[in-house]
A = this chain, B = another copy of it.
Amino acid sequence: MPPRTRRTEGLSRERIVEAAVELLDTAGEAGLTFRTLTERLATGAGAIYWHVANKDELLTTATDAVVAEALPAASAGSPEEEIRAVALGLFDAIEQHPWLATQLLMQLTRNPGGPVAPRIFEAIGRQIGALGVPEHSWFTATSVLVHYILGTAGQTATAEVSTTREAFLDTVARSWENLDPEAYPFTRGVAKQLRNHDDREQFLAGIDLVLAGVTTRHSS
């Protein structure tokens, strides 16, 4: 076994993923292409393909890396507290990396066999078990929570990197307020709730609402 040659410079999977995350953060999903990536890494397309199978794998790996960092390390308090910590960890990560929401939704629905889905499922699901939920409801209860967290946090994330969150939500709320009153009375009515539904408090209230359902159900 020859000693591994030392390389201060040189490409690596890690460096590529790191650059991909930076590009996604800076320029959004459309900003990550093999051209921008090769330019930033000062290399050729083939070099990247040596370390990474294709763009899908690159996106999966980038998403997984960000999620791994976002999830809280050790369990501290009660199951409820832990679930809130996981939820807020993902919420904050999505705020910092707006592309993450779409990517996570895609991973869950289209690539549940990949590394990302189990990571999130495990973080939430363990606490569901600790909560005393009967085993036959574990999958459903965990699914509900995970989809609420990602969906809600995703609605919060600004669509365009350039717009601020407030401006984005305001635009949506305004368009809801302009809907036909006959056909859309409910949606018009909750438009103002949308305006600040991304408050962490509001977000956590939703978590508690789900937890109420999860814990009530099996005591009857």
Contact = CB atoms under 8 A, between A and B. Distances in A.
Nearest to A179: B118
A60 interface: no
Nearest to A112: B172
Given A109-B155, A144-B210, A213-B214, A186 B102 contact: no
For this chain, the copies found in one complex come to 2
Contact of A144 (B148, B184, B187): B148
Contacts of A211: 213
Contacts of A129: 186
B212 A109 contact: no
Interface stretch (A4-12, A41-49, A74-82, A134-142): A134-142
Interface of A: 101-102, 105-106, 108-113, 118, 121-122, 125-126, 128-129, 135-144, 146-148, 150-152, 154-155, 157, 159, 171-172, 175-176, 179, 183-187, 189-190, 193-194, 197, 202, 205-206, 208-214, 216-217
